[in-house]
Amino acid sequence: MIDALWGWPPPVLDPAGPYADKVTTLAWALFGMGVVVTAIVCAALWLAVRGSPRMKALIGGERTIWIGGIAFPGVVLLGLLVWGLTLTASLTQPIRGDEMRIRITGEMWWFRVQYLNADGDIVMEDANELHLPVGVPVVLELEGADVIHSFWVPHLSGKKDMIPGRRTLLRVQADRPGEFGGLCAEYCGSQHALMGFVAIAHKESDWQTWFDDRTTRVARTEMLAETAPPDAMPYPGDAAAYPMELGTLERYDARRGMRLFMESGCAACHRIAGTEANGLAGPDLTHVGSRRSLGAGILPNNRGTMMGWIGDSQSIKPGNRMPSYDVLSAEDIGHIAAFLELQK
């Protein structure tokens, strides 16, 4: 199973950025208020039932209602309200417009992530992962492609809905490097439960390196140049063509995987920059090999899980939009997985 990116300590109480930080303070204050008021009510109940006659006489009148039911809550609620409104205002400062922008689209049941340049053009596409530089405020443009989803990375900020026909804006900022789990919070159909996400905060310089690398490099197809055309490939059948000293994994030929990818229907829904695979329905696979997880945060990303996902995604995540490629042989799927593994 993939690494737990949330759990204990509760991410709501373990903030990693300014937009979650202040809410954590508020949350602790609210819990304190809850405990104190519950204690007061329970104590008052106890005294009302079991108290001395004097105590009961003290409580048993309209004055109790005026103090306990009107004045006290009035003051507490007024204070909380002012705090809440001030905090809301500080968390929703107007967006200047020159912030870094990333568009995230909720789809059934994964997140499309598109990095935008200053003009708002898409320069790079990814899925289910958000890489962001530490200490830099990032504006997320949230959209819903089909139904309403909700974007939530509790370490970084509260949630915001992704609504078809609208573009909602959410500001996030990470103050420390790390990986922060996220998920869809609005019920969006059968696989809502398995719609995960990860935000990865890098040091700013590291992020820039990563980003430049991502945007300049396209598909890992360089190995094609040094080999014969795909149809001349020897495997399967001719195991002898492979030197025995290679480990089992290398027996799967990425070159053949690429051909299968293009010809078996994968390319109709998935794009790999620099190849003829141009499908837009599913996640962009240009860098799939470097993703932390498969299936929107539910499987670790390795050859085995990739093979399992390609061959039988419907039993891993029933109802998802990708058919199980059980018509392909295990060998074929292994080749495709080998090819995809290289797409870092």
Of 146-205, binders to another protein (CB under 8 A) are: 146-148, 150, 152, 154, 157-161, 163-166, 168-169, 181, 183-194, 196
Q: Which stretch binds another protein (CB under 8 A): 59-67, 95-103, 218-226, 334-342?
A: 59-67
Q: Which stretch binds another protein (CB under 8 A): 61-69, 217-225, 271-279, 332-340?
A: 61-69
DSSP string, 98-131: -SEEEEEEEETTEEEEEEE-TTS-EEEEEESEEE
Q: Which is nearer to another protein, 166 or 203 (CB)?
A: 166
Is position 82 an interface residue for another protein (rule: CB under 8 A)? Answer: yes
| Contact positions with another protein (CB under 8 A) in 98-157 | 108, 146-148, 150, 152, 154, 157
Q: Which is nearer to another protein, 304 or 319 (CB)?
A: 319
Q: Which is nearer to another protein, 221 or 324 (CB)?
A: 324
| Contact positions with another protein (CB under 8 A) in 263-292 | none
HEC string of 299-342 equals EECCHHHHHHHHHHHHHHCCCCCCCCCCCCCHHHHHHHHHHHHC
| Contact positions with another protein (CB under 8 A) in 223-242 | none
d(CA 151, CA 195): 10
Q: Which stretch binds another protein (CB under 8 A): 82-90, 114-122, 128-136, 211-219?
A: 82-90
Q: How far is the CB of 199 from another protein (least distance, A)?
A: 13
Q: Which is nearer to another protein, 157 or 343 (CB)?
A: 157
Contacts of 343 (CB under 8 A, 6+ apart): 219, 220, 272, 285, 286, 287, 288, 289, 290
Token pair recorded at residue 150: 């909700």
Is position 32 an interface residue for another protein (rule: CB under 8 A)? Answer: no
| Contact positions with another protein (CB under 8 A) in 318-337 | 318-319
Of 73, 274, 304, 323, which one interacts with another protein (CB under 8 A)? Answer: 73
d(CA 24, CA 223): 50
CA distances to 131, 135, 172, 178, 296 from 154, rounded to whole Å, are: 16, 17, 10, 13, 17
User: Between β-strands 178-184 and 196-202, what pairing exists: parallel, antiparallel or unpaired?
Assistant: antiparallel
Is position 80 an interface residue for another protein (rule: CB under 8 A)? Answer: yes
Do residues 142 and 104 lie in contact, with contact meaning Cβ atoms separated by under 8 Å? Answer: yes
